């Protein structure tokens, strides 16, 4: 699901939250500071991290926002980031105002005069992006699965133990970055890789594999690793619920 960062002036908080709620109801993954920044959090760090991980930046245009230093900095940072990743910046007009030069060349969505049409257009853009991303991800996964299976078969067939272990380690290293977003501890990643290597295919549901391999009844994993697996899974659950 595409992640959407919502940039706005706090003078427009009511409109921003209302839009965020409608987009979330339309199955969009919305990041808005009022929902995501807790007491004691670094505001700058949270915002920079959210912009870096977002596929879209929606900036609400009003007389207040076009003069807001925070909004200007968010738009500038997002423009660079989205250009690198192929993400999309969507200006949304809340009220008639002077559009900043950085956004003047972009077509905006008119939430002020056509709220229903504007919401539908934004959601359509997000959902089309999700569909393209899914097709790409499915193609990439199929290719990586084939390469992994062929590599595992070739390594299993090696007669030299040292060479077999070296190539096995190289293969594990090449696939490590696939799950960086999950913040998977090294030894739990090794559990996943060992399981896949034995099967000769990639198991993409990492959470399910870790749950199975590190289950209480498993004899393949030591107690300390099972404990870490439990803590990691609980951490994922908390992130999902909060």
Regarding whether 211 and 105 lie in a shared domain, the answer is: no
d(CA 69, CA 76): 11
Give counts: helices (H), strands (E), the chain: 9, 5
DSSP annotation of 182 reads G
Residue (of 102, 97, 103, 89) closest to 12 by Cα position: 97
Does residue 226 form part of some domain?
A: yes
Q: Which domain holds residue 86?
A: 3-131
Regarding whether 86 and 175 lie in a shared domain, the answer is: no
CA distances from 228 to 218, 232, 235 (A): 14, 6, 10
Does pTM top 0.75 for this prediction? no
| Mean pLDDT, residues 149-172 | 91
pLDDT digits (tens, 9 = 90+) for 4-18: 999 999 999 999 999
Q: How many domains does the chain have?
A: 2
Q: Identify whether the C-beta of residue 185 lies closer than 8 Å to the C-beta of residue 228.
A: yes
Residue (of 152, 145, 154, 157) closest to 171 by Cα position: 152
pLDDT at residue 163 in the model: 92
Regarding whether 207 and 162 lie in a shared domain, the answer is: yes
Tell me: pLDDT of 242 over 50.
no
Does residue 152 form part of some domain?
A: no
Regarding whether 187 and 112 lie in a shared domain, the answer is: no
d(CA 229, CA 152): 25
Q: 207: which 2 tokens?
A: 């959470």
Regarding whether 11 and 110 lie in a shared domain, the answer is: yes
Element (H, E) at 166: helix 161-175
pLDDT at residue 145 in the model: 86
Tell me: pLDDT of 137 over 70.
no
**What percentage of the chain exceeds 90 in pLDDT?**
33
């Amino acid at each position: 699901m595409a992640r959407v960062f919502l940039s706005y002036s706090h003078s427009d908080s009511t409109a921003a939250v209302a839009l965020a709620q409608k987009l979330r109801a339309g199955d969009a993954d919305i990041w808005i500071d009022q929902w995501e920044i807790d007491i004691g959090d670094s505001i700058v760090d949270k915002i920079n991290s959210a912009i870096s991980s977002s596929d879209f930046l929606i900036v609400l245009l009003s007389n207040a926002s076009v003069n807001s230093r925070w909004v200007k900095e968010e738009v500038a940072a997002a423009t660079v980031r989205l250009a690198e990743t192929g993400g999309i910046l969507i200006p949304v007009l809340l009220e008639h105002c002077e559009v900043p030069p950085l956004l003047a060349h972009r077509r905006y969505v008119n939430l002020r005069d056509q709220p229903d049409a504007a919401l539908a257009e934004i959601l359509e853009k997000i959902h089309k992006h999700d569909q393209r991303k899914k097709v790409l991800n499915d193609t990439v996964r199929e290719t990586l699965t084939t390469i992994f299976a062929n590599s595992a078969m070739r390594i299993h067939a090696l007669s030299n133990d040292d060479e077999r272990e070296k190539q096995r380690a190289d293969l594990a290293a090449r696939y490590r970055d696939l799950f960086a977003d999950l913040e998977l501890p090294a030894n739990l990643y090794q559990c996943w890789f060992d399981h896949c290597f034995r099967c000769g295919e990639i198991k993409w549901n990492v959470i399910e594999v870790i749950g199975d391999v590190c289950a209480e009844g498993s004899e393949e994993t030591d107690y300390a690793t099972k404990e870490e697996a439990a803590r990691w899974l609980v951490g994922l659950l908390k992130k999902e619920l909060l």
